[in-house]
Homo-oligomer: A and B are copies of this chain.
Amino acid sequence: MTSDSTVSETLQVKRASERAAYDREAVNAVVDECFIGHVGTIREGLPLVIPMFCVRDGERLLMHGAPATGTVRRGEGTDVCVTMTILDGLVLARSAFHHSMNYRSTVVIGKAFEVSEEADKNRALEMFVGRLLPGRQAYLRPTSQKEIRGTQVLELSLEQSSAKVRTGPPIDEEEDYALDIWAGVVPIRSDFGEAIPDSRLTESTKLPAHVESLISAD
């Protein structure tokens, strides 16, 4: 796999620059499809990476976490790097060296802040549910103030972000194309399986359309 991008302060992709797509549209496309971000911070002088549920809200990334994780200091914000990766396929070349993966990934850097203003936080929390299951929020019992207080939401501007994409067939050494070696791409797919009902549903409870459409849309 070509996992060779590095990000400087100016987010210039120093290597494999042909795969760098700086435009925001590419970033948005990845963020809108990949809902888990790997969030890097510095803790006690060491790097720490944790997975968080992420949702894009226009020009910012919202991250869902519990309080007391200590990852974000109030007020001044905390330096983070949020990376999202979608694997699209294995790229099988005629030599081991040119094996690769097709993928789309984004790197977002900047300072993360806690979303604390009440109306903004409520709206953010509804976006997490709506991101995965449009229509579900209105179907649920209302969220209590205690529950809202018990959840932490972080925000990070998408201003400093970049996308990197690899698509297409393997690129082999010219002389290797004559070899009788199978090369190509094996796609990787992800989908939703059949819903497993909770054993404690009431007798009258039916599978709602917003869950059914999630599974069949796939």
With an 8 A cutoff between CB atoms, is A82 at the interface?
A: yes
What is the 8 Å Cβ interface bit string for chain A, positions 77-89, against chain B (1 contact, 0 not)? Answer: 0011111010101
Q: How far is B19's CA from A66's CA once the two chains are assembled, in angstroms?
A: 15
With an 8 A cutoff between CB atoms, is A29 at the interface?
A: no
Chain B residues contacting A125 (CB-CB under 8 Å) are 96
Residue of B nearest to A193 (CB): B187
Partner of A66, one of B4, B53, B99, B194: B4
Given contacts A186-B192, A187-B192, A195-B184, contact A96 B126 (CB under 8 A): yes
What is the 8 Å Cβ interface bit string for chain A, positions 132-173, against chain B (1 contact, 0 not)? Answer: 110011011101100100110000000000000000011010
Chain B residues contacting A6 (CB-CB under 8 Å) are 43, 48, 50, 69-71
Chain B residues contacting A2 (CB-CB under 8 Å) are 66
Copies of this protein chain in the complex: 2
Given contacts A90-B132, A147-B95, A201-B182, contact A47 B47 (CB under 8 A): yes
Main secondary structure of the interface of A (DSSP, over half): mixed
B3 adjacent to A52 (CB under 8 Å): yes
Q: How large is the interface on A (under 10, 10 to 19, 20 to 34, 35 or more residues)?
A: 35 or more
B180 adjacent to A15 (CB under 8 Å): no
Q: How far is B137's CA from A11's CA once the two chains are assembled, in angstroms?
A: 36
B94 adjacent to A140 (CB under 8 Å): yes
A40 adjacent to B48 (CB under 8 Å): yes
A208 adjacent to B195 (CB under 8 Å): no
Chain B residues contacting A65 (CB-CB under 8 Å) are 3-4
Q: How far is B92's CA from A69's CA once the two chains are assembled, in angstroms?
A: 23
What is the 8 Å Cβ interface bit string for chain A, positions 189-205, against chain B (1 contact, 0 not)? Answer: 11111111111111011
CB-contacts of A104-129 with B (<8 A):
105, 107, 109, 125-126, 128-129
Residues on A lying within 8 angstroms of B by beta carbon are 1-9, 14-16, 36, 38-44, 46-53, 63-66, 68-71, 79-83, 85, 87, 89-90, 92, 94-97, 99, 101, 103, 105, 107, 109, 125-126, 128-129, 132-133, 136-137, 139-141, 143-144, 147, 150-151, 169-170, 172, 176-202, 204-208, 211, 214-215
